[in-house]
Amino acid sequence: MAELTQNYNLKKPGQDDFYNIEDDNSNMDKIDEALTPEADPAQVPTGNGPGKLVQWVSWFANRIKAITGKPNWWDAPTKSLQELADEQASHLADNVKHSNYAVATGSANTYAVTLTPAPTAYTEGMCVVVKINIDNTGASTINVNGLGAKSIKKPNGNDVTSGGLKAGSIYTLRYNGTNFILQGEGASGNATASDLLSGKTATTDAGEIVGTMPNRGTVNITPGTTNQTIPQGYHSGSGVVYGSANLTASNIKQGVNIFGVTGMLEPLVGNNIPASRISASEIILDLIVGASGSYSIPMGLDIDNLGNRYYFIKRGSNYDPEYVKQDKASNTVFQINSGYSGVIKVIPNSQNVILHINNNLYRYNGTSYIWNTTPTGGVNDFCFTSDNNVAMVTSSGILRKLNLSNGSIIWSASESPASDKIASGSSGAIATGDGVVSSNGKVRLYNSSGTRIWEVSPFNSTFVKSVSIDDNDNVWVYDGSTAKKLSSLNGSVVATLFNILAGHSLFWINGKLYAVGNSGVGIYNESGVLLAKKTLNLSITPPCSPFINHRKNIIIPYYTSANYNYFYYEFITNVTPQ
């Protein structure tokens, strides 16, 4: 009986079988099918067991294509497997083009690694990736495969500092031909946390730090009596240590040192300003004319910018009025019989004067009258204005501003009752007040155009002895012992100063109050604090009242009744009290 072959099931005739051509044809067809002439990519053996020859040939052809990477299995490969193996071995040994990783051994600062494959020598550019096994404490080295220890450096060439290599951290090192250089380590510097602004971070030689320096911003310091510590920290640069233009030797008490400036100002002696602070050139005490018993009575005086003196006198037993000009050496420049006597005020920066004679005003140039005005009722008082004109009040209740050049009327205002005191401020404002004319104590303030701003009675109808205007157009009034500051806006009382030196007049000059009385001159600040006092024994008698002259000084007349001799002070107001 026929048997079948194991793989292709071909019929094998038995010893007793007859020849059958169909069996031969069937076997031939199976062999022909198994020996297909083309490899079929789809023909893949299902396992290691029996499979068609074509399946194995196809599988083998596809594997050749996969290995060579060629489009056809019969195409020759670019390189042989041996060549590829050689290249792979060469690549693995190339520590420049690729990195090789190892875990360090050894102790702190002295590290060692073993790479596989093992390098045979150090080459420039060689890369080692190493996991540090222990923190370093200073400059460190690394020994690769026993080729010799090499220093580990930062990119700037410095040794790594303590803590720069942390256990468990992985670092990349490259060999530069001499040392291994840390890669990606760009931070450097020796700053500490206290050098960095609070809340800010930075990386230095020591690693990342968080700033602790406080931000002080803008710190301004006003000098005081004790040292002040400048706080540690960041400052904006806009802070200042305040200074003062008043920190000069002339403003500091004699012998006192303030910030390196030694004072030269002699202190008060009792209630008096010492002679070194008010010298003969600052206060002039002068016998105007005549000797004891000569019956020479001066009625008005002023001094020009050259030191010449102008005054009225009543001379001899008949008291004949004369107008006299003397130079600084008391030489008489001229002396004329005026027929009348009155008040003299020198025009600023000139040798011309305004004369108040017989209730009229005259401008006199030394040889002739330039102009005169004859108001109804007569002139009670006059002053110069800040724009170099003249203002006056009359007994008929008229306030006028006159052109100083020709005496023409610039503007006029009516007052009721009349005023007999007048003052002008730096802005051109004019204040008037009632003294002994009506005794109703009215005080008025006008702007530079002659418009009345307000009218008040600060002393409850008691007359005022003087009016003065400060730098802000506030009006200061004085009744002989009490001073009041009246608002420039509405005349309300802003301040009341008691215990002011009892006297005749009060003046505001250069930020200070000057009270003039028979006992001398008191200098006060705006709060009423006595800054200095010059004690004098005066007898101030109208019509010669103290007034501010063109030099911003105070002319003070007084006389001795025993022999009828008159004297005049010019009180220099630029003396700084201490």
pLDDT tens digit sequence for 480-524: 888 899 999 999 999 998 877 777 788 888 888 888 877 778 888
Question: Is pLDDT of 184 > 70?
Answer: yes
Q: Give the C-alpha separation, 374 to 447, whole Å.
A: 24
For residues 99-108, average pLDDT: 91
Q: Given pLDDT bands bounded at 50, 70 and 90, which one contains residue 71?
A: confident
8-state DSSP, 241: B
- Cα distance between the two ends of the chain: 153
Question: Residue 1: what pLDDT?
Answer: 60
> What pLDDT score was predicted for residue 448?
95
Say if CB 96 and CB 126 are below 8 A apart. Answer: yes
Residue 560 — very low, low, confident or very high, per pLDDT cuts 50/70/90? low
For the chain, the average pLDDT equals: 79
Q: What pLDDT is stored for residue 26 in this prediction? A: 84
**Per-residue pLDDT band at 168 (split at 50, 70, 90):** very high
Q: Is the pLDDT of residue 220 over 50?
A: yes
Q: In terms of pLDDT, which residue wins out, 105 or 536?
A: 105
In the sheet where 443-446 sits, what is the strand order?
A: 421-424, 430-433, 443-446, 452-456
What does the pLDDT average to over 355-362? 81
Domain spans, the chain: 89-182, 375-498
- Domain spanning 375-498, CATH class: mainly beta
pLDDT recorded at residue 271: 43
Cβ 356 vs Cβ 346: under 8 Å: no
Instruction: Please list, in sequence order, all residues whose beta carbon lies within 8 angstroms of the beta carbon of residue 461, skipping any fewer than 6 positions away.
Output: 439, 440, 441
Model confidence pLDDT, tens digit, residues 522-556: 888 888 787 777 777 666 655 456 777 766 777 77
pLDDT greater than 70 at residue 45: no
Does 299 or 441 have the greater pLDDT score? 441
**What pLDDT does residue 61 have?**
73
- Say which residue, 39 or 5, is predicted with more confidence: 5
Phi/psi-derived region of residue 364, left when phi > 0, alpha when psi is between -120 and 50, beta in every other case = beta
385-429 per-position pLDDT tens digit: 999 999 999 988 999 999 999 999 999 999 988 888 999 998 999
3-class SS of residue 197: strand
- Decide which of 48 and 176 is more confident: 176
Q: How confident is the model at residue 288 (pLDDT cuts 50, 70, 90)?
A: very low
At 235, the pLDDT band (50, 70, 90 cuts) reads confident
Q: How confident is the model at residue 562 (pLDDT cuts 50, 70, 90)?
A: low
What is the average per-residue pLDDT within 285-302? 48
Q: What pLDDT band is residue 292 in, cutting at 50, 70 and 90?
A: very low
User: CA–CA separation, 153 vs 141, rounded Å?
Assistant: 9
Q: How many Å apart are CA 182 and CA 391, to the nearest integer?
A: 92
Confidence of residue 443 (pLDDT cuts 50, 70, 90): very high
Enter the pTM of the model.
0.50
Tokens representing 528 are 């009423």
With a cut of 90, say whether residue 34 has pLDDT above it: no
311-322 pLDDT per residue, tens: 776 665 555 667
Q: How far apart (Å, rounded) are the C-alpha atoms in residues 229 and 212?
A: 20
Give the per-residue pLDDT at 572. 63
CB atoms within 10 A of CB 463: 20
d(CA 343, CA 540): 14
pLDDT at 578 over 50: no
pLDDT attached to residue 132: 95
Which pLDDT value is given to residue 272? Answer: 43
- The DSSP result for 246-275, as a single string, is T-SGGGSBTT-EETTEEP-BPPPBTTB--T
pLDDT at 114: 94
* Confidence (pLDDT) at 491: 94
| pLDDT for the residue numbered 548 | 73
Q: What percent of the chain has pLDDT over 70?
A: 77
Given the structure tokens 């009155």, which residue do they identify? 342
E strand or H helix at 456: strand 452-456
Q: Is the pLDDT of residue 138 over 60?
A: yes
